[in-house]
């Protein structure tokens, strides 16, 4: 059984704590490795390495930093198969998804920010009448913390690390304890790409020990976090007295609003994907489906028929559409919502049961589930389930759809299906979300701002927004 180590100062390092956590394979429910549950001492060691590396890295030319990030990207592409297998084994997602989305996107993150940093400019203002000019320095912050979740492990880990490094910071990063594998493998690629020692340090462990130690460490001046809303709120409370800069990308309960004038076939295919991609474990999944009355029954019939055809199976099989959920506690949490839905008067249109995949009966498999809800105010329609479960409801007017869409505590993304331009303009302005997709879903351009409103978080990632987050703006005023 493999014991993963922390990656500190360019070396795979045993934890001072000598505390270990089991790592489970969701496809068969078996323990297949262990990771350190790193203590304050391990985090302090990582912080020291990062702090020592900062003087040089922050002064390394943009061109050289860029070249190193591009090299990491290239190495990830070269190691696609190995990384995709590791991601799929660790997370339970279909290997096809890991190969076409997760790992290529991790490579894109490094490529994108390796290029973006060469174009990152700051402002200057001539103060006319004062004989003065102001210009803004964009300086790296120092040591920053990156904490990421389990649903898109390497994809989200690198979405934080790449801009942090590009901007000249040194990083102490923690992947989710549930999916540590690809972050672990990344260390060796960073060494191969020539990233100087100590610039990126990766510590493994539980949120309540290792994550907490990162948030509390006084040398870490900024934290970029993606995960649950409750965790985000906790991190904000702990970090507040130290005035740490925070970027929090939290949960979602995204509406998928379908009007009768949409391109039906395209909508149906995409809605299948936006509901169940990655077993519904994407913060952007459209988990609340609202359909305009004239096409409601038609949609219900067609959608449920398509959902029933989705193949739940072992993640390594090429024919698998829906793999395993990430962990046993998570499977139990999601299944609990099926019970809640029934108690609340919801109608189970399909799914809701555990699936026993032959030969892997202890894996965490669940049927894709569609629930018709009697009111938008029920818990399954309000709370983030984060699994292969969607709710379905009709609406009659645009206003009604908008009111229901906004009547949740979250505000990450929304999808609209319509060919009416005026409606598109009206609704996209009024929907409370950080991202609105019209006639598509999860079409991502890395230059665009990414993040949510309300309980979906604060701050924006992506493009220059990320580089702004990972730098301090300093204004210099020169009188001449
Ligand atoms: O996330 P956690 P969990 C949602 C989803 C899910 C719920 C809980 O609804 O069911 O959150 O998931 C680290 N200090 N999302 O419990 O705990 C933790 O180790 C510092 C949405 O798995 O928030 C991991 O690395 N760090 C989401 C990361 O935070 C702490 C993706 C996320 O874990 C910490 C995942 C602490 N005190 C879950 N406690 C999305 N927005 O995409 C935990 N962590």
Is 318 part of a structural domain of the chain? yes
pLDDT tens track for 59-114: 999 999 999 999 999 999 999 999 999 999 999 999 999 999 999 999 999 999 99
* Model confidence at 188: pLDDT above 90: yes
Is 451 part of a structural domain of the chain? no
Question: Do residues 93 and 166 share a domain?
Answer: yes
pLDDT for residue 30: 98
Question: Do residues 7 and 142 share a domain?
Answer: yes
Q: pLDDT band for position 1 (50/70/90)?
A: confident
Closest residue by CA, ligand 1 atom 19 = 207
Contact call for residues 201 and 46 (beta carbons, < 8 A): yes
* Model confidence at 423: pLDDT above 90: yes
Is 211 part of a structural domain of the chain? yes
Phi and psi at residue 353, to the nearest 5°: -110, 155
Question: Do residues 218 and 325 share a domain?
Answer: no
Give me the residue label for tokens 């505390």. Answer: 19
Question: Do residues 437 and 381 share a domain?
Answer: yes
Question: Do residues 170 and 263 share a domain?
Answer: no
Question: Do residues 165 and 49 share a domain?
Answer: yes
Percent of the chain whose pLDDT exceeds 90? 100
Burial of 447 (0-12, 13-18, 19+ CB in 10 A): exposed
Question: Do residues 361 and 427 share a domain?
Answer: yes
Give me the residue label for tokens 């880990």. Answer: 157
Taking the C-alpha atoms of residue 91 and residue 465, their distance in angstroms, rounded to an integer, is 29
User: How many alpha carbons fall within 13 Å on the CB side of residue 235?
Assistant: 34
Question: Do residues 394 and 473 share a domain?
Answer: no
Phi and psi at residue 96, to the nearest 5°: -60, -40
Q: pLDDT band for position 238 (50/70/90)?
A: very high
For residue 11, the domain's CATH number is: 3.40.605.10
From residue 54, alpha-carbon distances to 163, 196, 203 in Å are 15, 10, 18
Question: Do residues 245 and 264 share a domain?
Answer: no
Q: How far is the CA of 148 from the centre of ligand 1 (A)?
A: 8
Give me the residue label for tokens 């390796």. Answer: 114
Phi and psi at residue 382, to the nearest 5°: -115, -35
pLDDT for residue 88: 98
Give me the residue label for tokens 């009448």. Answer: 129
Give me the residue label for tokens 């029933």. Answer: 308
The total number of structural domains that make up the chain: 2
- Which pair of structure tokens corresponds to residue 159? 């979405």
pLDDT tens track for 383-415: 999 999 999 999 999 999 999 999 999 999 999
Is 301 part of a structural domain of the chain? yes
Question: Do residues 245 and 386 share a domain?
Answer: no
pLDDT for residue 71: 99
Contact call for residues 212 and 12 (beta carbons, < 8 A): no
Q: pLDDT band for position 17 (50/70/90)?
A: confident
Question: Do residues 68 and 110 share a domain?
Answer: yes
pLDDT tens track for 287-331: 999 999 999 999 999 999 999 999 999 999 999 999 999 999 999
For residue 426, the domain's CATH number is: 3.40.309.10
Question: Do residues 96 and 225 share a domain?
Answer: yes
Is 450 part of a structural domain of the chain? no
Phi and psi at residue 118, to the nearest 5°: -75, -15
Q: Which of 21, 149, 279 to mutate to test the pocket of ligand 1 (most atoms within 8 A of CB)?
A: 149
The minimum-distance atom of ligand 1 relative to the CA of 205 is 19
Structural domain boundaries, residue 316: 255-445
Q: How far is the CA of 66 from the centre of ligand 1 (A)?
A: 31
Contact call for residues 154 and 168 (beta carbons, < 8 A): no
| Alpha carbon distance, N-terminus to C-terminus of the chain | 68
| For range 214-236, the mean pLDDT | 98
Is 6 part of a structural domain of the chain? yes
Catalytic annotation present for 249: yes
Is 420 part of a structural domain of the chain? yes
pLDDT for residue 82: 98
* Model confidence at 150: pLDDT above 90: yes
Q: pLDDT band for position 211 (50/70/90)?
A: very high
Contact call for residues 103 and 154 (beta carbons, < 8 A): yes
Is 397 part of a structural domain of the chain? yes
Catalytic annotation present for 283: yes
- Which pair of structure tokens corresponds to residue 394? 């009709």
- Ligand 1: residues within 6 Å at CB? 147-151, 174, 176-177, 206-208, 211-212, 215, 226-228, 231, 234-235, 249-251, 283, 384, 386
The minimum-distance atom of ligand 1 relative to the CA of 412 is 41
Give me the residue label for tokens 């598109």. Answer: 424
The active-site residue out of 87, 249, 372, 384 is 249
Q: What is the rounded average pLDDT for all residues in the chain?
A: 98
């Amino acid at each position: 059984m493999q014991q993963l180590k922390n990656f500190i100062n360019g070396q795979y390092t045993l934890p001072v704590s000598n505390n270990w956590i089991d790592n489970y394979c969701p496809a068969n429910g078996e323990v297949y490795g262990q990771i350190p549950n790193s203590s304050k001492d391990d985090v302090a060691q990582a912080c020291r390495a990062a702090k020592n590396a900062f003087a040089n890295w922050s002064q390394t030319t943009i061109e050289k930093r860029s070249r190193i990030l591009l090299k990491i990207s290239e190495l990830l592409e070269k190691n696609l198969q190995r990384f995709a297998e590791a991601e799929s084994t660790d997370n339970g997602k279909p290997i096809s998804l890991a190969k076409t989305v997760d790992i290529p996107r991790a490579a894109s993150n490094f490529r994108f920010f390796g290029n973006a940093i060469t174009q990152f400019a700051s402002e200057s203002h001539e103060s006319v009448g004062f004989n003065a000019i102001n210009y803004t320095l964009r300086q790296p912050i120092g040591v920053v913390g990156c904490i990421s979740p389990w649903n898109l492990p390497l994809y989200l880990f690198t979405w934080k690390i790449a801009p942090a490094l590009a901007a000249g910071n040194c990083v102490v990063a923690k992947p989710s304890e549930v999916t540590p594998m690809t972050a672990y493998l990344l260390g060796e690629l960073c060494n191969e790409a020539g990233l100087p020692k100590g610039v990126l340090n990766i510590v493994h462990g539980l949120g309540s020990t290792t994550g907490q130690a990162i948030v509390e460490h006084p040398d870490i001046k900024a934290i970029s976090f993606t995960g649950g809303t409750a965790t985000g709120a906790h991190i904000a409370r702990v970090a507040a007295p130290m005035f740490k800069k925070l970027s929090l990308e939290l949960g979602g309960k995204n509406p998928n609003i379908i009007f009768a004038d949409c391109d039906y076939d395209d909508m149906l295919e995409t809605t299948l994907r936006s509901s169940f991609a990655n077993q519904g474990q994407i913060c952007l999944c459209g988990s609340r489906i609202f359909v305009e009355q004239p096409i409601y029954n038609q949609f219900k019939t067609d959608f449920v028929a398509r959902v029933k055809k989705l193949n739940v199976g072992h993640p390594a099989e090429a024919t698998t559409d829906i793999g395993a959920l990430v962990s046993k506690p998570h499977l139990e949490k999601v299944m609990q919502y099926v019970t809640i839905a029934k108690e609340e008067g919801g109608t189970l249109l399909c799914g809701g049961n555990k699936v026993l995949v032959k030969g892997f009966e202890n894996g965490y498999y669940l049927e894709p589930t569609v629930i018709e809800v009697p009111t938008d105010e029920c818990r399954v329609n309000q709370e983030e389930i984060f699994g292969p479960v969607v709710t379905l409801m009709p609406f009659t007017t645009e206003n009604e759809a908008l009111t229901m869409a906004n009547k949740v505590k979250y505000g990450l993304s929304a999808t609209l299906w319509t060919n009416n331009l005026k409606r598109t303009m009206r609704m996209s302005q009024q929907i409370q979300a950080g991202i609105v997709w019209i006639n598509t879903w999860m079409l991502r351009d890395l230059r665009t701002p990414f993040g949510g409103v309300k309980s979906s978080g604060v701050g924006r990632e992506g493009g220059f927004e990320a580089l702004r987050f990972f730098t301090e703006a300093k204004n210099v005023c020169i009188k001449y």
